[in-house]
Amino acid sequence: MIPEEVAKILRKEKYAIVGRHSAVKKCRWLHESLVNNRYCYKQKFYGIKSHRCLQMTPAVIYCTHQCLYCWRVQKGDIGLDWEMPSEWDEPEIIVEESIKAQRQILSGYKAHKKVPYEKYLEAIEPKHAAISLSGEPTLYPYLGELIEEFHRKGMSTFLVTNGTQPQRLAEITQPSQLYISLSAPDIETYKAICRPLSPKLWNRIMESIELIQSFTCPTVVRITAVKGLNMKKPEKYAKIILKGNPTYVEVKAYMYVGLSRQRLKFENMPTHEEVKRFATQLAEELSYDIIDESEPSRVVLLSRLKKPIKIGKE
């Protein structure tokens, strides 16, 4: 179902296509964890072992946004168009094939002189699924069942969504942790930065923010901070965020990588100091505390708790 021209781009960017519409890709931090014993902020904040994290998506090229800061391929980047799938793969198939793809991706590390063999064996048995990577996962109609299947495998799950499908969020099995992206403090900025397929999607995001309170798992509102575009009006961000009362707020820098370089400039990537300054302003508006940060990832963690909940599984 993925046009061959698009599939070639995905493969060139090291995506492993799974079935008809899903994909897996090795995270930079998985490599760093195996080879250099460095890990991503999710391990520091939440206990997710970077070398045991499976980064996947059930909707690799399908999204309701065309965000300027997105590093993935979009229709406007290559002059092609594509339709939503008419048929969707079963969750069990996606999970099994995603794990197989991860093991294939990791096969070269088995004999790597800098990778402890025990750590390699752990890596090929992933314990966490980050359901994000590319596209909008809530477009996949069996998302709840997909989460359940990962949980049956003894894996924890992060679901990262842009919040434009509140009806799906209202019906799914709860993930181990829920992320909702909030990329703008108002509808005008939203239209400019996210380039939504419909202006009505802003109201759906507001519905999803309010739905956060119905989740018993830890919840996160994530702001991708783009210098010169959306690092403004912290009081308006706070007013929206407080409607959901999330466990955490992550303020993370836009990174000048991938196809986002066709849409934005290097100068749009804020420094960690700039991210922290904006996060501090937001924390004051929310009455949240800054409880952690990761300078390599340029991310600051705000919370209404004194310390984050560790959800990673051994």
CATH number at residue 69: 3.20.20.70
pLDDT of 306 above 90:
no
Tell me the C-alpha distance between 74 and 60, whole Å.
10
Higher local confidence (pLDDT), 133 or 164: 164
Range of the domain at 99: 4-303
What percentage of residues in the chain have a pLDDT greater than 90? Answer: 78
pLDDT of 76 above 90:
no
| Mean pLDDT, residues 211-228 | 96
| Mean pLDDT, residues 154-181 | 95
Per-residue pLDDT tens digits for 94-136: 999 999 999 999 998 998 999 999 999 999 999 999 998 788 9
Structure token pair of residue 226 = 């783009």
- Per-residue model confidence (pLDDT) at position 204: 96
195 in a structural domain = yes
pLDDT of 280 above 70:
yes
pLDDT of 45 above 80:
yes
Total count of domains within the chain: 1
pLDDT of 209 above 90:
yes
pLDDT of 314 above 60:
no
- The residue behind tokens 């206990």 is 47
- Per-residue model confidence (pLDDT) at position 258: 79
Per-residue pLDDT tens digits for 77-88: 677 778 888 899
Question: Which of 35-44, 237-246, 272-281 is the least confident region?
Answer: 35-44
Query: Which amino acid does the sequence have at 38?
Result: R
Report the predicted TM-score, pTM, of the whole model to 2 decimal places: 0.92
CA atoms within 13 A on the CB side of 218: 22
Structure token pair of residue 94 = 């996606």
Is 173:147 a contact under the CB 8 Å cutoff?
yes
pLDDT of 31 above 80:
yes
Give the chain's mean pLDDT.
92
| Mean pLDDT, residues 290-306 | 93
Measured between its terminal Cα atoms, the distance across the chain in Å is: 36
- The residue behind tokens 């000048």 is 256
| Mean pLDDT, residues 61-79 | 83
SS3 call for 111: coil
Is 135:63 a contact under the CB 8 Å cutoff?
yes
Tell me the C-alpha distance between 90 and 103, whole Å.
20
Query: Which amino acid does the sequence have at 243?
Result: K
Q: Residues with Cβ < 8 Å from 152, sequence gap 6 or more?
A: none
- The residue behind tokens 């809530």 is 138
Tell me the C-alpha distance between 309 and 45, whole Å.
8
- Per-residue model confidence (pLDDT) at position 271: 97
Question: Which of 5-19, 223-237, 238-252, 276-290 is the least confident region?
Answer: 5-19
Which is nearest to 240 in space by CA: 187, 294, 310? 187
Tell me the C-alpha distance between 198 and 213, whole Å.
26
309 in a structural domain = no
Vertex 237 angle, CA 62 and 222, to 5°: 45
Q: Residue 141: count other Cβ atoms within 10 Å of its Cβ.
A: 12
Cα separations (Å) of 100 from 19, 27, 123, 248, 273?
12, 16, 12, 33, 40
Tell me the C-alpha distance between 177 and 169, whole Å.
13
- Per-residue model confidence (pLDDT) at position 313: 59
Tell me the pLDDT band of 2, cut-offs 50, 70 and 90. Answer: confident
312 in a structural domain = no
197 in a structural domain = yes
Tell me the C-alpha distance between 76 and 196, whole Å.
13
Instruction: Provide the angle, in degrees to the nearest 10, between the axes of the packed helices 272-286 and 234-241.
Output: 60
146 in a structural domain = yes
- Per-residue model confidence (pLDDT) at position 241: 97
Tell me the C-alpha distance between 18 and 182, whole Å.
28
310 in a structural domain = no
Tell me the C-alpha distance between 179 and 246, whole Å.
9
- Per-residue model confidence (pLDDT) at position 117: 93
54 in a structural domain = yes
160 in a structural domain = yes
- Per-residue model confidence (pLDDT) at position 111: 86
Tell me the C-alpha distance between 31 and 22, whole Å.
22
Tell me the C-alpha distance between 279 and 281, whole Å.
5
pLDDT of 149 above 70:
yes
pLDDT of 285 above 80:
yes
